[in-house]
Amino acid sequence: MKKILLLATGGTIASRETAHGLRPALSGEDMRTAIGAADAAIEVIDLLSLDSTNIAPSHWQMIARRVADVRTDYDGFIITHGTDTMAYTAAALYYMLENIDRPVVITGAQRPLGRDGSDAEQNLRLAYEAACSGFAGVCVAFGGRFIHGNAAKKMYSLADDAFRSIGRAEVDLSAPSAPSAPFRLHDALDERVAVIRLYPGMKPITIDAHIASGYRGIILEGYGCGSVPGDDAEESFLPSLDRARTRACTVVLTTQCIYDGADLSHYEVGVRAAQLGALAGGSLPIEALYARLMQRLAETPEGETVKSLK
């Protein structure tokens, strides 16, 4: 019999209607009952009871440490979580639970458990299927899909099939996986990271203002392949990127496009930025880039920039 640990953190799946709208109220025990699996021993911990809007990096660390502490006591883990920041938490756990050798599955719902037509039970059973499988790693189970933890993105605010896998194929549960290196809890994060979205007319001083405020990392959501305005623009971003480098602030250029990722070698405006030390976000969605850069910065000495997000 498989032994599963369910960690409840809140979200719509656990919510009840109040005079001020939905708010988490249900327990992990309610989730366990909904899974209704007779062939597994599911233990439950009520870790948090938060709308995922209120989840912060310290909560990612709390979840990761909890899983790491009891990793070998269970065959798999289910984390119930709000959908709005689920992709961020999934990415953070993906990188923090490095080489985890069993399934860590995050799920939630668009409508509360117990409400007519709710997707909650279906998603809980999907998560249970993944948690009992031979998959090794962190994934999101939602709307009939299994998505690697560093590839999930919420694409619809309300639809059941809300998530898509960005930049890599969905998880194939029929192909058991095994990590090639020992497990490591990699939970240090440097929160001095800002995500900035580029728009026509944006002033490059925005970058300098963040550097002056003490940010060690900036993820700039540029256009197309990750481009930012260069020498032909009214106001070039290149001098600000140069200042970022000399002041040991790591700049990652990614794209506002959902698919195909950022590749700075494609256009002159990207090549010039890369020459000034900007890293390309590649095919990682912004949620994964954010968690990864925080983690990379935590292991990079103060006064140095991150050399790679790999």
Positions marked active-site: 12, 83
How far apart are alpha carbons 178 and 46 in whole angstroms? 29
84 is in an annotated binding site: yes
Report the DSSP pairing between strands 152-154 and 145-148: unpaired
Spatial CB neighbours of 220, under 8 Å, sequence gap ≥ 6: 196, 198, 207, 228, 251, 252, 253, 254, 278
By CB under 6 A, name the one of 1, 29, 53, 197 that touches ligand ASN. Answer: 53
240 is in an annotated binding site: no
Q: Are 221 and 254 within 8 A, CB to CB?
A: yes
Shorter beta-carbon distance to ligand ASN: residue 51 or 190: 51
Verify binding: residue 159, ligand ASN, rule CB under 6 A. Answer: no
Q: Which ranges in 26-173 belong to alpha helices (H)?
A: 28-35, 57-70, 86-96, 120-131
The 10 Å CB-count burial string (b at 16+, else e) for 18-37 is eeeebebebebebbbebbeb
Stretch that binds ligand ASN, among 27-35, 49-57, 214-222, 239-247 (CB under 6 A): 49-57
Verify binding: residue 265, ligand ASN, rule CB under 6 A. Answer: no
Shorter beta-carbon distance to ligand ASN: residue 157 or 308: 157
In the complex, least distance from residue 276 CB atom to ligand ASN, rounded to whole angstroms: 37
Shorter beta-carbon distance to ligand ASN: residue 120 or 244: 120
By CB under 6 A, name the one of 30, 51, 119, 190 that touches ligand ASN. Answer: 51
In the complex, least distance from residue 11 CB atom to ligand ASN, rounded to whole angstroms: 4
Stretch that binds ligand ASN, among 47-55, 119-127, 247-255, 262-270 (CB under 6 A): 47-55
In the complex, least distance from residue 20 CB atom to ligand ASN, rounded to whole angstroms: 13
Shorter beta-carbon distance to ligand ASN: residue 12 or 295: 12
Size of the site for ligand ASN (CB under 6 A): 10
How far apart are alpha carbons 244 and 251 in whole angstroms? 7
Name the amino acid, one letter, at 59. Answer: H
x-or-dash pattern for ligand ASN, window 56-85, by CB under 6 A?
--------------------------xxx-
Verify binding: residue 112, ligand ASN, rule CB under 6 A. Answer: no
Rounded to 10 deg, the angle between the 238-246 and 205-212 helix axes is 20
Verify binding: residue 222, ligand ASN, rule CB under 6 A. Answer: no
In the complex, least distance from residue 61 CB atom to ligand ASN, rounded to whole angstroms: 19
The enclosing H or E element of 42 equals strand 40-50
Instruction: Answer left, alpha or beta for residue 99, where phi above 0 means left and psi between -120 and 50 means alpha.
Output: left
The enclosing H or E element of 304 equals none
Bridge partners of residue 4, in order along the sequence: 42, 76
In the complex, least distance from residue 271 CB atom to ligand ASN, rounded to whole angstroms: 39
Stretch that binds ligand ASN, among 46-54, 165-173, 196-204, 260-268 (CB under 6 A): 46-54
**C-alpha torsion sign, points 120, 23, 148, 132:** negative
By CB under 6 A, name the one of 49, 52, 133, 300 that touches ligand ASN. Answer: 52
Name the amino acid, one letter, at 96. Answer: M
The enclosing H or E element of 145 equals strand 145-148
Residues at the contact surface with ligand ASN, assessed by CB under 6 A: 11-12, 51-53, 82-84, 108, 110
- State the binding site for substrate: 52, 83-84
